[in-house]
Amino acid sequence: MQIPQSCKLRFMQKTSAGFLAVMIMLSYSLAGCGSDMHTHPPVCSTTGTHDRQIIFLHGVNQNASLMGVIQNPTANDIFVPLLESLQCVYNPADIHIFQYLDDQALTAQNGGVCPATISPPCVSQGAVGDNAVQLSTMVSSLSQRANQKVTVIAYSMGGAITRSMLAGCPSITPDAAGNPQTLSGCNVASMVSDVFFINVPQQGSYLLALKQSLDTSNNPIEIALGWAAYAIAKGTMGLVANDAAEVDMTPGSPNIILHNQNLPPGGNIHYFNFFGDIQIHPISNLLDLIIPGASSATIAAGDLVILPGVDDPQAVPAAGGSRFCLACGTQDSNGYASSPDGMYTQWALTDNLSWDYSVLVQFIQSLGASLPQSAGQHLLGNILNAPETHLDIYSDDSLYNTSSIQVEDHTGRGGKTSIANEILWQLEKEDGITQ
């Protein structure tokens, strides 16, 4: 089904206010704008009626109750285009938002105070494995109640939780005999039909590797870029390197090793992966004298939080990564790749940006985990406006405005479209829903 013009989302043009919001909000598991001085028209003229159980998982430090809810200003919208587009076609009662065990939403549900029994205290940063058990319970319940398989759409840490669930919730704690074990109740892969990943740390986040001194890069410009992104991520997402979620999503962590040790389950599960692929071209006549040749190397920065990594779902590269495409060939000129059997599909969200890093001389002595957020913003400059960045990918503009991001359609409609449309169209194709 093609969403008619009357059903399309509002305010798909960015303004300077929208860019400022993005700069203040940048990076992990995280804007479209416009005037918010009037009532928003409905996105769809009719409510969806088709039957499909869908679970959406948000990222680190996000609030389940805000997913898909129009905000004022709309620069603060989180996955509104995607979730509202789905509700144009599918019964809204069948679209479910996963709530972390320590979700921020719990505070509002408890009169504005996080329940004393919740740890960490309502920050959506609990252990990946524990949340995977919660997700498996949700999948099992929905599948049995509706007598159908479940679709999972996951962003950032939500994707890490999904990977752990599909792997059977492997426990990072061995049994009494020292053998690997899985957490109970997680044998639900057969109840899943489709999985969509959006900017997910499949192999871990580069920023967390940098924080833990695991980075192996010898490019000083790349390292400076990483510390700038980390400063913004830390300020925006409240990252604490020793919290369970951050430990679990650090490249080479026990959680990643365990959920990557076996191939993802098949059984006719379709996997779709969207990953940030920002290509940065450093330019500076000043520092090229200090660091010869550094400005000639293109930096594959991913979405600034997660590097591209490699396609192999079992790989555990030291710097992490977001690619996920078993047996996929070389991506085409539009960033698309798929496996021969069509069960894995992947889109690189590529952007090419020049970066004048001469400003680095102001911060060269202060690079590191203590770099202030404001310094990170100053260092990254124009890169913060890229719609593919980790904390901009969920904005109205990034998800729905094809002048910002467009992906090659592979549902038979041809041409290019938005991320939100492609996800919807893939599901419609499976369900035999025509325009």
Closest CA to 399 of 11, 2, 1: 11
Helix (H) or strand (E) holding 97: strand 95-97
10-residue mean pLDDT series, the chain (435 residues): 43 37 36 36 74 97 95 93 94 98 95 90 92 96 97 98 94 67 80 98 92 73 86 75 85 93 92 97 63 65 96 95 96 96 97 86 80 89 93 94 95 94 97 87
- Separation CA 322–CA 305 (nearest Å): 10
Dihedral through CA 343, CA 193, CA 82, CA 342, nearest 10? 10
Main-chain phi, psi angles of 350, to 5 degrees: -90, 140
Q: 3-state DSSP: the chain helix, strand, coil percent, rounded to 5?
A: 35, 15, 50
Question: Cβ distance 420 to 407 under 8 Å?
Answer: no
Q: At what angle do helices 128-146 and 157-166 cross, to 10 degrees?
A: 70
β 192-198/170-171 pair status: unpaired
Structural domain spans, the chain: 5-204+244-276+322-350+389-431
pLDDT score recorded for residue 218: 73
pLDDT score recorded for residue 100: 97
pLDDT score recorded for residue 120: 82
Q: First vs last Cα of the chain: how many Å apart?
A: 4
What three-state secondary structure class fits 11? coil
Dihedral through CA 385, CA 388, CA 392, CA 397, nearest 10? 90
- Separation CA 241–CA 199 (nearest Å): 20
